[in-house]
Amino acid sequence: MSRFFSIHRLAALLAKETIQMRRDRITFGMMLGVPLMQLVLFGFAINNDPKDLPAALVTTSQDQYTRAIVTALEITGYYRFNHVVETAVEAEKLISDGTVSFVVTIPSDFSRRVARRDHPQILIEADATDPAVASGAISTLGTVAAQALLREMGAEAQAAEAAAGQLEVVVHRRYNPEGITQYNIVPGLLGVILQMTMVMMTSMALTREVERGTMENLLAMPASPIEIMLGKVIPYLVVGAVQVAVVLVAAKLLFQVPFIGSMPLLLSGILIFVFALVLLGYTISTAARTQMQAMQLTFFYFLPSLLLSGFMFPFRGMPIWAQYIGETFPLTHFLRVVRAVMLKGAEVEAVAKPMAALVAFALVFAGLALLRFRRTLD
């Protein structure tokens, strides 16, 4: 048997590593799960040119010219008119709370001005908090609407300049007129940074106690499971508060991100979000045996939440099944709160649904953490 190399010793080491890998099911699952998850998400769910976007139509008439323009916009694939209202007040509520991405207003005298060839106008308001959502739809609407109107009038095909002269499309980019990407990204970074740090640090808190052998001392204390849980997660709320202050100050001073909403409302949403995250991290810590496993589980959760929450890619550009999955992540709902409050000046009514979802996540994670704690540490 060679002193420097032996096929038998190598085979024994390989057998040992195989057995160890088989026992570490979390690591083995990550090796297979992460590539498959990335392949599915990037291959099917991610779309930088979202279509079939919800839109509201403001009109008091259903004449042939109005129908022609609406049909033409729907044929482009970008617009889906699922709300027809008669007043601007109703439309304002729909776009402010994020129900629709566009509001198309066709004035009551539109058909008369078309008949007189008196340069008719339509108004299209776009929610530009995410510039990527609005850019593709806006770039095509002028020519499409004008050509549809010419066809309905019985005119022959003309150049784009002549078509534009027949119909004037007024576009208002709401909440972010300049289309500045930082206005969308920086508020979202607040949620991403909090999620990355809060979940990871909290998930490693309990596993650190187990690895260091101090869990027995913790259990010997006259403390209930809920007291132990709160004692572990509350210090990280203070860390989260420091991170929030840093990000908000940087957003204002470095990137000049507008803040037109209510600071108490935003802080309330942040508090609920951070509390849900630390409870999620605590739940992960009850399932992991080592700090490495806790970090792996955190990464496995972090990747799909980042891709499907609407932070990196337009949420409405994803297929329906991906949107359903995205709704299961707290980050998705927090992004709606922080962008609505900071950029739109939304009030409590406009963010009531995402705030309620964050509260529900916090309650579910708290229940799971207590249940797992009792099962694993009795």
186 and 65 fall within a common domain: no
Residue 218 lies in a domain: yes
Which of these three, 147, 174, 201, is where a domain ends? 174
DSSP secondary structure, 131-189, as one string: HHHHHHHHHHHHHHHHHHHHHHHTPPP--HHHHHHH-EEEEEEES-TT--THHHHHHHH
Nearest residue to 144 via CA among 259, 152, 18: 152
Rounded to 5°, the CA angle 254-259-264 comes to: 120
| β-sheet bridge partners, residue 289 | none
Instruction: Determine contact, residues 281/299, Cβ cutoff 8 Å.
Output: no
User: Among all chains, which residue has been given the structure tokens 């052998």?
Assistant: 213
Instruction: Determine contact, residues 370/285, Cβ cutoff 8 Å.
Output: no
187 and 307 fall within a common domain: yes
Residue 24 lies in a domain: no
Q: What is the pLDDT of residue 33?
A: 67
150 and 247 fall within a common domain: no
pTM of the model: 0.81
Residue 95 lies in a domain: yes
Which of these three, 174, 209, 242, is where a domain ends? 174
Q: Which two tokens stand for residue 300?
A: 């496995």
- At 154, which CATH number? 3.40.1710.10
Q: What is the DSSP letter of 346?
A: -
Residue 41 lies in a domain: no
199 and 252 fall within a common domain: yes
Nearest residue to 78 via CA among 316, 351, 298, 333: 316
Residue 267 lies in a domain: yes
- d(Cα 330, Cα 304) in Å, to the nearest integer? 12
226 and 367 fall within a common domain: yes
222 and 295 fall within a common domain: yes
Rounded to 5°, the CA angle 155-109-88 comes to: 120
Which of these three, 158, 174, 190, is where a domain ends? 174
Domain of 330 in residue numbering reads as: 182-377
Residues of the chain with confidence (pLDDT) below 70? 1-5, 20-34, 37-38, 40-42, 44-45, 136, 140-143, 145-146, 148-150, 152-166, 213-220, 373-378
Residue 12 lies in a domain: no
User: Among all chains, which residue has been given the structure tokens 């572990």?
Assistant: 232
Residue 22 lies in a domain: no
134 and 166 fall within a common domain: yes
148 and 84 fall within a common domain: yes
230 and 154 fall within a common domain: no
Residue 233 lies in a domain: yes
Count of the separate structural domains present in the chain: 2
135 and 165 fall within a common domain: yes
214 and 361 fall within a common domain: yes
Q: What is the pLDDT of residue 337?
A: 95
Return phi, psi of residue 72, to 5°.
-65, -40
- d(Cα 254, Cα 257) in Å, to the nearest integer? 8
162 and 200 fall within a common domain: no
Q: What is the pLDDT of residue 241?
A: 87
Q: Which two tokens stand for residue 192?
A: 């991403």
